[in-house]
Structure 1
Amino acid sequence: MNWRDARSWAASWEWGDAPAWAAFVLAAIALWISIRAQKDGRRSANASETSATAAQESVEEARLSRMASERSATVAEETLADQRREAAERRAAEEEANRPRAQLRIEHRNAALFEIVNVGTGPAVNIRGVDVPEDVNELPECFSLEPGESQKLWVFGGFADEHVSVLKLFWDGQEGVTRVRVPPRN
């Protein structure tokens, strides 16, 4: 190339070149925008994929949370039922423990005279002797004692070895025969 004959590049322009250069600049800007849009689109697609994955995980966590809350509610209901049952059993035991009960004791008065005394807090109703020894006299077939009341009975017999030591009694409200100790004579 001959540099002497060369014209300046600005002088070599013709009016048809300016729109081509403008189109070239606009094409370059469009390319740049297109590349940016493609990156943004990729980033948006990745974000939506991440969002979809997070949503699926959130749904799974919500399902697990619901199942855990159902289990927790079931356990709470069972615990409450157990507490109510235990409270009812405790109340029933307290009521049973505080229920007035008859307690019979035989006391020696003099010689062959003894008394059956109700030292409990409740009445003894329909007291009956079971397998009453022949030495015991004047024991009614069936009698009742209020708290603090007594019933006389005579215990006859030989000397020390032949003395009646236990009297078997049964009354309403008892689960079985009660053995009541007969004290020795003074």
Structure 2
Amino acid sequence: MTKWSPNSWRAKPIKQVPAYPDLAALKATEAQLATFPPLVFAGEARKLKKQLAAVAAGEAFLLQGGDCAESFAEHGADNIRDFFRVFLQMSVVLTFAGAQPVVKVGRVAGQFAKPRSSDNETKAGVTLPSYRGDIINGIEFDAKSRIPDPARQEMAYRQSAATLNLLRAFAQGGYASLENVHRWMLGFVADSPQGEKYGALANRITETM
């Protein structure tokens, strides 16, 4: 097996390559990012590997979810909280139904790039570089926004770090308690025609957990 390094990807076939017009700025941004703390730490990675091994052995269930692509404009505490809340509710239901631990993997805090089938996009006779996600260029269909800008990588790092810090705070600060999850589930089904039925199920789940 080839040994991994932070730069080993450069030796691989690369199909999605944004054309940065200022390579010096790109290199400077890469050098700056290399000095920043890691977003995920070694202990967290080792823990996930162990949990995924349990999934592969049929001893746990994998729940993975999140946005197809995150955007700088929609980054905010409320959106992160709502994602976390729904993810926890799904996890509790799966744990109850499957009688197994659930490994939760969020597609979040870094999902700022989008692969494209074409390097260019044409609208009303105007051809511009394709939008490749907020980490590369802007979604607005104008020449300036579609220029790949390496400074966006630093913005993506900072938003990812903020998201992870908030998620860690939610997970460790009591927000993820079973009592909270139970209350959210009851609130979700309260106005449903099947509210009484699902309310009883929510109570059973809480009692079992």
Higher relative contact order (CA 8 A, sep 6+): 2
Normalised by the length of structure 2, the TM-score is 0.17
The structure where strand makes up a greater share of residues is: 1
Normalised by the length of structure 1, the TM-score is 0.18
